[in-house]
């Protein structure tokens, strides 16, 4: 069977050359006579993998040594809990922008720990837009400001990021390494790997080292960033397979010319799809134009019955993962880094045919 066009929101498409290399090496990694899955996380072989993965990430994102690069488990949901435990100190307030479902989850975990101020709220707009940098009503002396820069469900992303005297923390799960960002503008950037970086089961955390120092004694050792910084991601056995795949994905990204080149390609892919959506009232794009995501593209159609017909026929035509998130319905195409331009073109061609038959 040929490969499908995969528009799933995550776990999502991986680059074909990465999969082919992982397949070729699965039984015998680099002449070691065993699978990468069978290698000790403290072996020389694995050390080279994790070090290369980290070096690739530092190179791609231009990360200075003031920042630690951590490969943790648990994905972004785990980070939602770790962040306030480490950084929302007693008596302080944490600022959160409420931009959608993922921000909501992050806010929920912060409220377990301490006081939260929602400094922007997109609920009234049904999360169809994002805050502009000047719209945040920041708390003076806040412990930190937390943002989610791209919301997969609404299909919106921040064009620009806020400035804040408090440390700026960003969940970039669904747009990690899809656009050039200046890491020095952030105290922490993190995200689950399963959208743009690799398989599920891993969170990539880029964190200014000094941020980890003030964690209260009441926090478990496992939940402290300091533990994992000191252990260089090997305090406990990490997800070695995911780190290996991330190494391959970042090799691939570097080979394509890095994030600037990828961003250009992502903008081209998104433009192809948005211009189809804008071409006729048959399609009803959800996100407000200025805040449209280049990763998750959302739209509605005239009726739910038509939407269902669309996803059914698309699936039959080898295009999968187009159903919108169960909380909002509609359609969604996730076109992450690994989604090839050909898949986007195939989708647009299918859409044109579908409109002719049903419009």
Q: Of 137, 147, 145, which Cα lies nearest the Cα of 175?
A: 147
Sheet holding 67-72, edge to edge: 67-72, 203-208, 188-192, 168-171, 144-148, 93-98, 115-121
- Among the listed residues 95, 171, 247, 323, the single catalytic one is 171
Tokens of 76: 């972004």
Q: Name which of 296, 295, 297, 348 is nearest 319 in CA terms.
A: 348
Nearer to a second copy, 164 or 196 (CB): 196
Is 171 an active-site residue?
A: yes
Q: If we measure between CA atoms, which residue out of 153, 150, 146, 154 comes closest to residue 170? A: 146
Contact residues for 168 (Cβ-Cβ < 8 A; gap 6+): 144, 145, 147, 161, 162, 185, 186, 187, 188
- The closest alpha carbon to 276, from 299, 304, 295, 307, belongs to 299
Set 21, 28, 44, 102: catalytic member: 102
Interacting residue ranges for a second copy, rule: CB under 8 A:
1-4, 6, 8-14, 19-20, 22-23, 26-28, 31-35, 37-41, 43, 73-78, 80-81, 84-85, 108-109, 112-113, 192, 194, 198-202, 217-223, 235-242, 245, 318, 320-321
Give the length of the chain.
359
3-state secondary structure (DSSP) of residue 188: strand
Of 337, 238, 203, 228, the residue nearest 36 (C-alpha): 238
CB of 14 to a second copy, least distance (A): 6
Residue number with CB closer to a second copy (16 or 288)? 16
Task: Provide, rounded to whole angstroms, the least separation between the CB of residue 239 and a second copy.
Answer: 3
Tokens of 335: 């076109």
Q: Which is nearer to a second copy, 85 or 164 (CB)?
A: 85
Minimal distance in Å, beta carbon 19 to a second copy?
5
The pair of three-digit structure tokens given for residue 265, joined into one six-digit string: 């390609």
Active-site pick, 47, 51, 65, 195: 195
Nearer to a second copy, 9 or 276 (CB): 9
CB nearer to a second copy: pick between 111 and 309: 111
CA atoms within 13 A on the CB side of 154: 26
Is 241 designated active site?
Answer: no
Give catalytic status of residue 283 as yes or no: no
- Going by C-beta distance under 8 Å and a sequence separation of 6 or more, which residues neighbour residue 80? 105, 106, 108, 109, 110
Please, which residue, 28 or 290, has the CB nearer to a second copy?
Answer: 28
Active site residues: 102, 171, 195
């Amino acid at each position: 069977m040929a490969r499908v066009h995969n528009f799933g929101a995550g776990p999502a498409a991986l680059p074909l050359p990465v999969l082919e290399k992982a397949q070729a090496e699965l039984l015998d990694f680099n002449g070691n006579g065993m699978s990468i899955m069978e290698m000790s996380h403290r072996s020389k072989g694995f050390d080279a993998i994790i070090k290369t993965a980290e070096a690739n990430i530092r190179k791609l994102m231009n990360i200075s040594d003031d920042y630690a690069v951590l490969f943790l488990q648990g994905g972004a949901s785990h980070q939602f809990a770790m962040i306030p435990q480490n950084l929302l100190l007693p008596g302080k307030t944490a600022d959160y922008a409420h931009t959608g479902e993922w921000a909501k989850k992050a806010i929920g975990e912060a409220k377990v720990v301490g006081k939260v101020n929602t400094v922007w709220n997109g609920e009234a707009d049904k999360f169809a837009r994002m805050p502009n940098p000047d719209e945040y009503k920041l708390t003076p002396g806040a412990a930190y400001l937390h943002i989610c820069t791209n919301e997969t469900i609404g299909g919106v992303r921040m064009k620009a990021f806020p400035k804040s005297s408090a440390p700026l923390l960003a969940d970039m799960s669904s747009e990690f390494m899809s656009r050039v960002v200046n890491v020095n503008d952030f105290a922490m950037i993190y995200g689950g790997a399963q959208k743009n970086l690799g398989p599920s089961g891993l969170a990539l955390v880029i964190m200014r080292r000094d941020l980890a120092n003030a964690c209260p004694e009441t926090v478990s050792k496992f939940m402290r960033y300091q533990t994992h910084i000191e252990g260089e991601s090997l305090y406990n056995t990490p997800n070695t397979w995911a780190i290996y795949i991330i190494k391959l994905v970042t090799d691939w990204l570097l080979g394509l010319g890095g994030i600037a080149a990828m961003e250009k390609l992502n903008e081209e892919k998104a433009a192809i799809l948005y211009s189809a959506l804008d071409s006729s009232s048959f399609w009803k794009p959800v996100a407000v134009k200025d805040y449209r995501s280049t990763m998750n593209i959302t739209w509605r159609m005239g009726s739910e019955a038509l939407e269902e017909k669309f996803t059914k026929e698309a699936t039959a035509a080898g295009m999968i993962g187009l159903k919108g998130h169960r909380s909002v319905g509609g359609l969604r195409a996730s076109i992450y880094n690994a989604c090839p331009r050909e898949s986007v073109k195939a989708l647009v061609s299918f859409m044109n045919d579908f409109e002719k038959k049903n419009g």
